[in-house]
Amino acid sequence: MDIKPARKYRGNKLSASAEFAIHLIVGAFAIACIVPFIFIIVIAFSSAESLRTIGYSFFPAEVTITSFRAAFDMGDTLVRSFFVSVFVTVVGTFLSLLITILYSYGLYRKDYKLRHFFAFFVFFTMVFGGGLVPTVIVIRNLLNLGNSFGALIVPSLFLPFHVIIMRTFFVTSVPTSLIESAHIDGSGEFRTLFSIVIPLAKPGIATVGLLTAIGFWNDWQLALLFIRDRRLFPLQYLLMEMQQNTEFLRRNLTMIGSASGINLADLPGEGLRMALAVIIVLPIACAYPFFQRFIISGLTVGAIKE
């Protein structure tokens, strides 16, 4: 059974002036969002000399590709971390979506007897947590997940925030009557979920999926807590380490001085850090349209000017 969304139709169209105003406001905000990224690209292409003499500028005194070359000189490290990030993101997002959908479905079903219990069960963990130390101990000692891919995936498999969002999507986009009629047709719970609810809630699932994927991609804290083997460092952690080292060294400068031999000149230049920041964004930006298809396409079908 395949439910097609009702034909999109938006009745009267916006007036030309209203449409123009919307483009102006939304467009301006969109540009404000992308400009800093362009700025980062510019810095990544600026020479160190330029950064020193005229500061951060959209118009560098001198353009160079040294930073990107330095980034790619990291070679193996970079490639390996890239694949760690991709693997964690793909596997993590898939598993996380699955668990989240299953759990949210129960919360969405008003006729499910244990609904209130499970709703509170998940909600309570949003406000209360055991703190860092006990959580780390459970993951490392009880689940034995230290220094492995599991440590990068399992701890963020199931986020209460996403469950509640997902449930709300089910509530707003799947009419209860559909579920009832499916049951009268003799459809089992799993079939109802997969053939009725999920197709209807595609925009919501895509949204949660996107948020989950970004969460996995951007995460560096799990690596910080659990990963000791450099070969398992995700991309974000490489960047984080570079950025934090500068700050760390500054705080400890007076101490390090005596501990001669740590050469401050070896710190990654800003250009390299920016180049890495650019490299990190690109893959997920490419994956973005995949999710977006489900979020936007349903929306504007009826509004295309015929």
Partner 1 sequence: MTKFITKHKKTFAITLMMLPGAIWLLVLRYIPMGGLVIAFQDYRPFPQNPTFLNNILNSRFVGFDNFRFIFATDRAWNMIRNTLAYNAVFIVLTTILSIALAVCLSEIGSKFLAKTYQTLMFFPFFISWVVASYFVFAFLDPTFGVLSHMRNWYLDPAGWPVILTISHLWKSLGFSCIIYLAAITGIDQGLYEAAAIDGASKWRQVWAITIPSIKPMIIMLFIMAVGRIFNADFGLFWNIPMNMGPLQNVTEVFDTYVFRVMQAPIAGAIGMATAAGFFQNIIGFVCILGANFIVRRVDRENAMF
Partner 2 sequence: MKKILLALACLTLALVMFAGCGGGDAPTTITVWFMGGTVADDSDVIEAANERLQELGLNIEIEPIWQGGWAMGYPAQTALDTGDTDIDVFWTGSWGLNFWTNAALGNFIRLDDPENNLLAQYGQGMRNAVPTALWDAFTTAGPSGFGVYGIPGYKDYAQMYAWDVNNTLLGELGFDFYSIFDPNGFNYDAFFDPQFEAAMVAAQELHGPTFFPLVPEPEMFARALSNADFDITHTHAFHFGFDPRNPALPANPVIGLNLENDLYVRVLERLHHFWNMGFIDPRLAMGDQASNVMVEQRNAGEYLFSAVVYAYGHAGQASSERGIDARFPRISQAIVSTTSAAGSGFAVSVYSPNQGEAVQFMNAWYTDSELATILAYGVEGTHFTRNADGTITRAEGATAVYNPWRFGMGNIFVLPPTDVDGPGYFERFQTYNAAGVGTALVGFVFDTDGVTNELAAIASVRDRFHGTLTVGAVDPATTIPEYLADLHASGIDVVTDELNRQIQDFLAGR
106 lies in the site for partner 1, by CB under 8 A: yes
144 lies in the site for partner 1, by CB under 8 A: no
The residues that bridge with 63 in the sheet, in sequence order, are 46
Residue type for position 277 = A
225 lies in the site for partner 1, by CB under 8 A: no
302 lies in the site for partner 1, by CB under 8 A: yes
Which listed range, 69-77, 83-91, 127-135, 261-269, lies at the site for partner 1 (CB under 8 A)? 127-135
Which listed range, 5-13, 195-203, 247-255, 292-300, lies at the site for partner 2 (CB under 8 A)? 247-255
Handedness of CA 69, 70, 71, 72 (dihedral sign): positive
Q: Given the complex with partner 1, which of 90 and 285 has the nearer CB atom?
A: 285
Tell me which of 111, 254, 258, 265 binds partner 1, using CB under 8 A: 111
Q: Which partner in partner 1, partner 2, none is near 288 (CB below 5 to 8 A by kind)? A: partner 1
d(CA 169, CA 202): 9
Token pair of 128, please? 């209360």
Token pair of 196, please? 């009725």
Instruction: Kindly write out the interface string for residues 154-173 of this chain, putting x where it contacts partner 1 by CB under 8 A and - elsewhere.
Output: xx-xx-xx-xxx--xx-xxx
Which listed range, 59-67, 75-83, 92-100, 227-235, lies at the site for partner 1 (CB under 8 A)? 92-100
Tell me which of 130, 144, 253, 257 binds partner 1, using CB under 8 A: 130
122 lies in the site for partner 1, by CB under 8 A: yes
303 lies in the site for partner 1, by CB under 8 A: yes
Instruction: Kindly write out the interface string for residues 172-191 of this chain, putting x where it contacts partner 1 by CB under 8 A and - elsewhere.
Output: xx-x------------xxx-
Residues 235-274 that bind partner 1 (CB under 8 A): 239-240, 243, 251, 270, 273-274
d(CA 69, CA 192): 53
d(CA 153, CA 145): 10
**What is the DSSP annotation of 23-44?**
HHHHHHHHHHHHHHHHHHHHHH
Minimum distance, C-beta of residue 263 to partner 1, in the bound complex (Å): 23
Q: Which long-range contacts (CB under 8 A, 24 or more apart) does 32-37 make?
A: 37/278, 37/281
Instruction: Kindly write out the interface string for residues 204-243 of this chain, putting x where it contacts partner 2 by CB under 8 A and - elsewhere.
Output: --------------------xx--x-x----------x-x
Tell me the three state secondary structure of residue 280.
helix
What value does the CA radius of gyration of the chain take, rounded to a whole number of Å? 24
Q: Given the complex with partner 2, which of 5 and 188 has the nearer CB atom?
A: 188
Q: Given the complex with partner 2, which of 27 and 134 has the nearer CB atom?
A: 134
Minimum distance, C-beta of residue 199 to partner 2, in the bound complex (Å): 15
d(CA 276, CA 181): 53
Residue type for position 276 = L
Is 85:234 a contact under the CB 8 Å cutoff? yes
Q: Which long-range contacts (CB under 8 A, 24 or more apart) does 98-105 make?
A: 99/157, 99/158, 100/158, 100/159, 100/162, 100/163, 100/166, 100/208, 100/212, 101/166, 101/193, 101/198, 101/205, 102/193, 103/158, 103/163, 104/163, 104/164, 104/166, 104/167, 104/170, 105/170, 105/193, 105/197
The residues that touch partner 2, with contacts defined as CB under 8 A, are: 48-49, 51-53, 55, 76-77, 91, 95, 98, 102, 132-133, 136-137, 140-141, 143-151, 153-154, 188, 190-191, 194, 224-225, 228, 230, 241, 243-250, 252-262, 264-267, 270
